[in-house]
Amino acid sequence: MDKEKIKVLMIGPDRCVHGGISGLVNGYYDAGIEEKIALKYIGTMKEGSKLKKLMVAGLAYARFCLCVGKFDIVHVNVASDNSFWRKALFIKCAKRRNKKIVIHQHGGNIEEYYETLDEKGKERVRSIFGMADTLLVLTNKLRDFFETIVDKEKIRILPNSVSTRHVGETASDRDYDKILFLGRICRNKGITELLTAMDEIHVENPDVRLYLGGIYEESEYVSEVEKRSSYVQALGWIKDKEKDKWLDECGILVLPSYFEGFPLSVIEGMVHGCAVISTDVGGIPEAIEDGVSGILIKPKDVDGLKNAIERVISDKDFAKKISQGGMKNAKEKYSLEKNMEKLIEIYKDFKNS
């Protein structure tokens, strides 16, 4: 290990897991973070049965305990629910070893989850987050919430971001009859409403196609997609060049989620010049100005979703306007390369303190 570089031990879901945290971590690796710091990543969760997840978590904790002493900083990527309680064990271990701790909170429903807990549970959550030397949150909304439970001086905003290295200056012409969804195929992502809206759109616009880039998290949607095979196609989980191809080919990126933190797919759509349609939840309104850099709708609103898609399809000038506005906003605010440098500066502040 390079003695001159800052030594960071980072944990989170395995890099092969389908999800936003893994996508962000893989983006850091692609952007060359290992050239700037001495980074070791331990995956604490893999997809599969409960037994498999338990075994992976146990082995990860053992590996973590064996090597944590060699590092200056421990960076913990955490969501909500079970993810939080799993990561609490790692945070406590790092605290016992007197390590500087960065907790990077990604969960979109953390505030709602916190309110479901009894007072003892809330105290445990406050205690764990209070162990952070720096708490990274994705949005201003999350910062406002965390200021009520931890020292606000610890909180820093670091939004999710995507690489902008190979992105053009203007949104290219594209086919607005092609709609792309990226994410897990499940109820909370608004798939029921999206399929219902597509049923109605198909009647008036039979050439419109929806492409679902994601894995089925809820099996009942397999048959729902198959019976719409003439205008809805499941692509499976797409990544890297294949994902770039679909983002460049489709005119619309849609994400009608019920809740989110700060979804990478929205930023990916904006960077690639898609007209992005999403819900006004979590940090999405901080990325999208309605009618300027995308369209915001209410969650579970089939009519709003249908009308937004039809407006983009029918009004090419408007579509190009929000596509260009989204691309400009994403490149300025959500560049992975720029945000990675901000993260490294946070690490350096620890080193120099």
Among 132, 155, 127, residue whose Cα is nearest residue 143: 155
User: What is the reported pLDDT for 281?
Assistant: 92
Cα gap 256→267, rounded to integer Å: 14
Selected residue with higher pLDDT from 106 and 39: 39
Structure tokens at 77: 């990527």
Tell me the domains of the chain and their CATH numbers.
Answer: 7-161+335-352 (3.40.50.2000), 175-333 (3.40.50.2000)
Per-residue pLDDT reduced to its tens digit, 185-244:
999 999 999 999 999 999 999 999 999 999 999 999 999 999 999 999 999 999 888 999
Average pLDDT over residues 178-183: 97
Dump strand ranges (E) for the chain: 7-12, 38-43, 73-78, 100-105, 134-137, 155-157, 175-182, 209-213, 232-234, 250-255, 275-279, 295-297
User: What is the reported pLDDT for 253?
Assistant: 98
Average pLDDT over residues 334-352: 90
The per-residue DSSP string of 237-273 comes to S--HHHHHHHHHHEEEEEE--S--SS-HHHHHHHHTT
Average pLDDT over residues 121-126: 95
Partners of residue 43 on adjacent β-strands = 12
Per-residue pLDDT reduced to its tens digit, 276-324:
999 999 889 999 999 999 999 999 999 999 999 999 999 999 999 999 9
Confidence band of 18 (pLDDT split at 50, 70, 90): confident
Whether the full predicted model's pTM is greater than 0.75, yes or no, is yes
User: What is the reported pLDDT for 350?
Assistant: 85
Q: Which residues of 90-122 are buried (b: 16+ CB within 10 A; e: fewer)?
A: bbeebbeeebbbbbbbbbbbbbebbeeeeeeee
Instruction: For tokens 């610890």, name the residue.
Output: 154
Ramachandran assignment for 245, one of left (phi > 0), alpha (psi -120 to 50 degrees), beta (any other): alpha
Burial (Cβ within 10 Å: 0-12, 13-18, ≥19) of residue 312: buried
Among 86, 71, 76, 94, residue whose Cα is nearest residue 136: 76
Q: How many residues does the chain have?
A: 353
User: What is the reported pLDDT for 174?
Assistant: 80
Average pLDDT over residues 135-159: 94
Structure tokens at 99: 């390590």
Confidence band of 3 (pLDDT split at 50, 70, 90): low
Among 257, 250, 255, residue whose Cα is nearest residue 273: 250
Q: How far is CA 211 from CA 99, 166, 198, 216, 245, in A?
A: 45, 24, 11, 13, 12
Average pLDDT over residues 154-174: 80
User: What is the reported pLDDT for 77?
Assistant: 95
Selected residue with higher pLDDT from 347 and 79: 347
Planar angle of CA 272, 321, 160, nearest 5 degrees:
40
Return the sign of the alpha-carbon dihedral for residues 112, 115, 138, 330.
positive
Structure tokens at 59: 């082995």
User: What is the reported pLDDT for 220?
Assistant: 95
Q: Name the amino acid, one letter, at 337.
A: E
User: What is the reported pLDDT for 79?
Assistant: 84
User: What is the reported pLDDT for 163?
Assistant: 86
Confidence band of 158 (pLDDT split at 50, 70, 90): very high
Q: Which residues of 175-209 are buried (b: 16+ CB within 10 A; e: fewer)?
A: ebebbbbbbbbbebbbbbbbbebbeebbeebeebb
Averaged confidence pLDDT in the chain: 92
